Structure 1
């Protein structure tokens, strides 16, 4: 998670530099801030994803195990 935070900060700095150089109404400035927003959305998505339990991981690795069988009506 810290990698994405560092990447967001790096993209923010780049966006500020692009906007200072090209102007705040330029397409390059908008694109740079879009990249920042996409990274922030990804970071938010990663925070929402709950890690799998040990049992869920075991069942993913061993779907034929007796404990992992699912019976449907």
Structure 2
């Protein structure tokens, strides 16, 4: 799931949560559960943003794993 997909899903879940709270009341279990779903998606979006993008050398080694400069030796 890409970051844009997650953001769209967060907006959808927010709308669902608002509707659930309007229908069941702000202190209802349904309202709390709906907002929990929003929080879980926000946590996933945050986690995906933490991933460090690969640099040019890492991309090169992904494309050319047998290149001499990409070899890794275990001692």
Q: Number of residue pairs matched?
A: 73
Corresponding position of 1:20: 22
* Structure 1 residues not aligned, in runs of 5+: none
Corresponding position of 1:2: 4
Corresponding position of 1:30: 32
If the length of structure 1 is used for normalisation, what is the TM-score? Answer: 0.79
* Structure 2 residues not aligned, in runs of 5+: none
* Root mean square deviation, CA, Å: 1.7
Extract structure 1 runs of 4+ deviating beyond 4 A.
none
Q: Is 1:58 matched with 2:60?
A: yes
If the length of structure 2 is used for normalisation, what is the TM-score? Answer: 0.78
